[in-house]
Structure 1
């Protein structure tokens, strides 16, 4: 299950204005309760006590556009991270699945042999990974529970790649250009775009390691301090651990706190002997200063001496002209955007989904991230979706105003099936029992015929209900494709708004219920139901 938009800020009383994207309608959206029945197995799931006050939505459409099952298909649902189907699709089709981000370093000033009398300028281009996830074959790597969810979802793990790989490569290229000394400063030019209040987490033009510090705690023996490793090591960030190892079977509970500027991080709590290592993250509060220091340190490792102090604020006041004029002495070229889309969809990457809004703005010649909703609206129209059925103020599906109808999801998914990139888009979605957010369900084909045959994006919106001391699950959704056999594929949406759970495990159980419904639909569609 996963795909969390876990902290719904509306429940904290934040008021925002809605931006609605709209498109042309396809066949009339199905009304309440029409279409064939859902079957006893699905009905039994929907009648569980946790859904006593909830509202369900269901829509299944075959490859010929015929509605097979429908309930509340024309009504708005809180989408959660299933909204990423729209933001990622819009970005993919606007900037192109083959688009590569080229992040240059410019030498502005005068060269005197190997010395630069001037400054190096890293011009940030909105590259989400900057080499930090890139595998040896140029693909972007991920784990089924991403490190960005480590503080909210149990079991998050790290990819093995060096999060500073792109920064290190830029530094090596600077050295290969013949520069061994910089008498001026190093500056990050992050003027590509400015973020918008509705985007949380806020995208930044320069992103290193998803703008977080990874903190991995490993148990030792009972009564002794736990072992801590962390990355990336960039000054002036410092980490202190006060986590103790307790007896086997004891409580594992680790908290992270940070100083106001984020550079002093402290871990407290306990980890049980024999427990798996526990990952936590701490936010980088100033990505430009962090990236500048990381580059200066990488230059030092590459044999380039920078005379300016490595730490401190990014000296953006040195950037007077737009664009910066100077000799390109390094450039990091990313994998194609389709690889980024895969990671965003597989692990429900919130920062990456919001970044897509900003990238569409830049593509359209804008500077504010809000300018990206115009291209998103244009894409939604092109996809044949009714514009009044898609309401978004972010890319991740976590804003209080976000609403999408099941019919809109179906039209979007059917649009992709008519494109040359249909298979690549479908494979970018989590696959039931195989990878990403759906890896933990239906794990064996022998006991679950739908294994590997459901391609879908889940979403969750949940927050604390203080009246009942439980979690209120604003939304749990799942939208994607069912393999119907013989080359056929059905689009589907399953969603429930207004459920409740005693804790995080209960939220995960609601996701499992939707996964089971999807499996039952797939088995029926393919004729393998037992």
Structure 2
């Protein structure tokens, strides 16, 4: 058993079972956490009978637990998720001498040299076989309205990979990797950006020792990356993963590079084509289907990405923010125009079908980065029980991390009764921890649970208290 769980488990089990029931023991364990921490927990059996309920109707910031709503809504509303994603792949066409690279919401398009599937190079090969000269290269992400960041996302996340821009034309996870290698004491470190989309302003300094205190800054929509802080001369090279504010522009820039490598001369500029967000992108405003858009010209070529179901494993197992946001917008295309509001409308339809009260949730994005999101444990647990009864419920559950085995739970629950027997989505954000899913109790029966900790003090952790409570529940049932 992990050392970090020993103290919380001791606290949860401190009082004799005869003196306190399971509910009281769980509450006593939570009371031992850092002052000010607010907990919510519901554990229920297959019939919906609650085994434990701590602040069940409280509204909590769910962090990446939001992703389980997004992926479940995709299963509930989209067909053919286990088939190649023929509607999502990027396409290319030539229009009046310009090359138009179109995105349709695929999250996995890659320009990597070792790309094996869903490769931008394939589209570059097609253009190079068609012509040796083009004018402008335009990245078109108008399949979705221009909502690169969700309402309620912290501005300081924008330069990072966690807050990278969202675009129907996404390439390389909309991030770039910068490698920083220390130099001599007092000298700047070596900063290498393999793809020179940004200009590097190196303000970092090499210092004695092996400690790394590197940082980076970038103005919104700016193309200058300032590397700051210090790196010890004995430190290993440090990769910095930075976000991209205009992914459609980056994709067009990268496509130009690939065309040039194939001998295609580009005489014009690189630019992006966006579709402005309007009131009609809110289904509550437009009250019906969106206005029909003019059909695009026939594509010269179009990629077919792998099945969306495979990407949902990535979204839930490793908690991939960008892919979750793109999936919400893909869901929003079913009856809308691909806006966040259209996607949330599909989530609401699913929650209505599951019988989850409207007061139990508010969602403003698909990934959990928004500080506007709120979820009640009882509502989340009810959704999870409903999912378990759906034809796709088993496939969805298989996308969740497994305690002590893989994904974001690989290091949690090891050596406990829940190792290999807990299947749940994690969530971590400022002062927030969350975990919701299914567990197999000591008796062999499956329980549904949703657990949250909010307002966690900066120097404290609530994760171990949530984990200890779930272990206690599993051992008592």
TM category (shorter chain) comes to: 0.7 to 0.9
Match of 2:131 among 157, 177, 180: 180
Corresponding residue of 2:284 = none
Whether contact under 8 Å (1:198, 1:394) holds in the other structure is: yes
Q: Deviations over 1:17-62 (max 9, x none)?
A: xxxxxxxxxxxxxxxxxx952475x455412351x23332121112
More strand, by proportion: 1
Match of 2:31 among 29, 39, 47: 47
Mean Cα displacement is larger for which, 273-282 or 397-406? 273-282
Corresponding residue of 1:324 = 296
Q: Deviations over 1:311-334 (max 9, x none)?
A: x433679xxx933214x3222211
Cα RMSD of the aligned pairs, angstroms, is 3.1
Q: Secondary structure at the match of 1:106?
A: strand
> What is the CA-CA distance between 1:349 and the residue it aligns to?
2.5
Whether contact under 8 Å (1:345, 1:430) holds in the other structure is: yes
Whether contact under 8 Å (2:189, 2:206) holds in the other structure is: yes
Query: Does residue 259 of structure 2 align to residue 288 of structure 1?
Result: no
> What is the CA-CA distance between 1:188 and the residue it aligns to?
2.0
Match of 1:385 among 353, 356, 374: 356
- Supply the distance in 2 between the matched residues of 1:391 and 1:274 (Cα, whole angstroms): 48
Match of 1:498 among 450, 455, 469: 455
Query: Does residue 39 of structure 2 align to residue 69 of structure 1?
Result: no
> What is the CA-CA distance between 1:69 and the residue it aligns to?
1.4
Q: Secondary structure at the match of 1:501?
A: coil
Match of 1:247 among 208, 215, 219: 208
Corresponding residue of 1:515 = 467
Q: Secondary structure at the match of 1:268?
A: strand
The verdict on how the C-alpha distance between 1:220 and 1:198 changes in structure 2, with shifts beyond 3 A counting, is same
Q: Secondary structure at the match of 2:57?
A: coil
Corresponding residue of 1:450 = 418
Whether contact under 8 Å (2:442, 2:475) holds in the other structure is: no
Whether contact under 8 Å (1:107, 1:121) holds in the other structure is: yes
Query: Does residue 460 of structure 2 align to residue 477 of structure 1?
Result: no
- Supply the distance in 1 between the matched residues of 2:230 and 2:454 (Cα, whole angstroms): 35
> What is the CA-CA distance between 1:254 and the residue it aligns to?
0.6
For structure 1, the 5+ residue unaligned runs are: 1-34, 110-117, 134-159, 463-472, 526-530
> What is the CA-CA distance between 1:458 and the residue it aligns to?
2.0
User: In the TM superposition, what are the counterparts of 1:130-141 in structure 2 within 5 Å?
Assistant: 130-131=109-110
Whether contact under 8 Å (2:75, 2:392) holds in the other structure is: no
> What is the CA-CA distance between 1:164 and the residue it aligns to?
11
The verdict on how the C-alpha distance between 1:230 and 1:516 changes in structure 2, with shifts beyond 3 A counting, is farther
Mean Cα displacement is larger for which, 298-307 or 197-206? 197-206
- Supply the distance in 1 between the matched residues of 2:111 and 2:406 (Cα, whole angstroms): 20
- Supply the distance in 1 between the matched residues of 2:357 and 2:427 (Cα, whole angstroms): 21
Whether contact under 8 Å (2:39, 2:451) holds in the other structure is: yes
Q: Secondary structure at the match of 2:305?
A: strand
Match of 2:100 among 121, 129, 132: 121
For structure 2, the 5+ residue unaligned runs are: 1-19, 154-162, 276-292
The verdict on how the C-alpha distance between 1:132 and 1:79 changes in structure 2, with shifts beyond 3 A counting, is farther
Corresponding residue of 2:429 = 461
Q: Secondary structure at the match of 2:330?
A: helix
The verdict on how the C-alpha distance between 1:94 and 1:303 changes in structure 2, with shifts beyond 3 A counting, is farther
User: In the TM superposition, what are the counterparts of 1:93-132 in structure 2 within 5 Å?
Assistant: 93-96=76-79, 97-98=81-82, 100=85, 101-109=88-96, 118-131=97-110
- Supply the distance in 2 between the matched residues of 1:300 and 1:132 (Cα, whole angstroms): 14
> What is the CA-CA distance between 1:405 and the residue it aligns to?
1.4
- Supply the distance in 1 between the matched residues of 2:216 and 2:117 (Cα, whole angstroms): 23
TM-score normalised to structure 2 length? 0.79
Corresponding residue of 1:353 = 324
Whether contact under 8 Å (1:193, 1:369) holds in the other structure is: no
Mean Cα displacement is larger for which, 510-519 or 336-345? 510-519
Corresponding residue of 2:176 = 213
User: In the TM superposition, what are the counterparts of 1:297-308 in structure 2 within 5 Å?
Assistant: 297-308=257-268
> What is the CA-CA distance between 1:479 and the residue it aligns to?
0.7
Corresponding residue of 2:5 = none
Q: Deviations over 1:482-503 (max 9, x none)?
A: 123676321111222333122x
Match of 1:86 among 61, 66, 69: 69
How many corresponding residue pairs?
Answer: 425
> What is the CA-CA distance between 1:77 and the residue it aligns to?
2.2
- Supply the distance in 1 between the matched residues of 2:132 and 2:231 (Cα, whole angstroms): 46
The verdict on how the C-alpha distance between 1:395 and 1:260 changes in structure 2, with shifts beyond 3 A counting, is closer
Match of 2:193 among 230, 234, 248: 230
